[in-house]
Amino acid sequence: MDGIIITARLKSTRLLKKVIIKVEDKTILNYLIDRIKNQSDIPIYLCTSQETEDDPLINLSNESKINYFRGDAEDVLNRYYECMNFFNLDNVYIVYADEPFIDVDLLKLSFDQLKNSKKPSWIRNDDYVDGVFGYGFNYSALKMVNNLKTSDNNEVWGEMVSKMPLKIIKNFCPYKIKKDKVRLTIDYKDDLDVFEKIILEIRDNYKSMNIEEIINVYNKLRLYQINLHRANDYNLRIKSQSI
């Protein structure tokens, strides 16, 4: 069985409890869930920690009628693996709760690629613009990753996984814009301001608009003037965490 894993915690410090911040009376996480549900019938699983600070996420998952799994706070890879075991999943696509404009077409493509792969496989989509892509794993790949991981503190795990003997399937961004010219993730107040302006512009169309249409709105409103500078801050922070 396939499953979409939404990674969510409430420990953020730059933008406090960002995934349950409300924009137009809807949380950031709900925007993501609604967008996926509107375009796909693949089951969604919220994957969070056992820390009490994350209890509000469980309430939200129940209200949204999606399953949830609670695991280790720091060992994210083990949390994914245990979630796959608990729900008997064969293939997963991992997305992040602070990226509500997920590219569902890319998500579906990744599942098709996993179904056609017999080897432990990792779908890498990080050529796409920030805030729209996730990563795919089949069960044998995530089992290998969990066994071979070099640290139990692995919130930033990409560099570690890239060194493992996995079949890597890399998808390249087809949008008519460079990756470094758009930022659709939410990590800072500037990013939240951008998201809010897009939602005010497109309203309920957030559920169905494709990524190129959303990027056109981003450019039309010149939102790159607000948050694009944050990309460098984010990349430096991720690099420091992966050393």
The per-residue pLDDT for 237 is 56
| Ranges of the chain whose pLDDT falls below 50 | 243
The per-residue pLDDT for 83 is 98
Mean pLDDT of the chain: 95
Give the residues across from 91 on adjacent strands: 2, 138
pLDDT tens, position by position, 130-168: 999 999 999 999 999 999 999 999 999 999 999 999 999
The per-residue pLDDT for 232 is 75
Which segments of the chain are extended strands (E)? 2-7, 22-23, 26-27, 44-49, 67-71, 91-96, 121-124, 135-138, 167-170
pLDDT tens, position by position, 41-56: 999 999 999 999 999 9
The per-residue pLDDT for 233 is 73
